[in-house]
Amino acid sequence: MKQYVIDELRIEDYEKIKTYFDDHFEASKIGGIYWIHIDPKILAEIQISHDACKPFYFAVELEPDKLSCELLVRTGNRVRCDCVRYATESQRNWFIRLLDAILEKLEVHV
């Protein structure tokens, strides 16, 4: 699995990130997993055309010592579909910039 991982988090950083994620993102039924919905403006052509599969999101796992971010674009409506695929370059860059901006806002220095 391709991932963007931020490790060696301090417990106070984990608490800040958890609070932010709880307030701004959808939590899954599995503890520590969050869904970050992708900006519709950067969807790939196949994702745009798959209305039944929308919305699309990235899965993020927050643990006390690390943040693991899958670079797989998922759909909440299907497990397998041609539109479920690794992020395009623009999607990947958008996602990493979003996460980096959140960490900067929270003053988490890694």
**CB under 8 Å to 20, separation ≥6 — which residues?**
102, 105, 106
pTM of the predicted model as reported, rounded to 2 decimal places? 0.90
Q: Which residues of 63-73 are buried (b: 16+ CB within 10 A; e: fewer)?
A: eeeebbbbbeb
Q: What is the pLDDT of residue 77?
A: 78
pLDDT digits (tens, 9 = 90+) for 73-95: 999 877 789 999 999 999 999 99
Find the mean pLDDT for residues 57-85. 93
Q: What are the phi and psi torsion angles at 60 (to 5°)?
A: -130, 130
pLDDT digits (tens, 9 = 90+) for 2-48: 999 999 999 999 999 999 999 999 998 888 999 999 999 999 999 99
DSSP result, the chain: --EEEEE---HHHHHHHHHHHHHHSEE-SSTTEEEEEPPGGG--HHHHH-GGG--EEEEEEEETTEEEEE-EEEESS-SS-TT-EEPPHHHHHHHHHHHHHHHHHTT---
**What is the Cα 96 distance to its own chain's centre?**
9
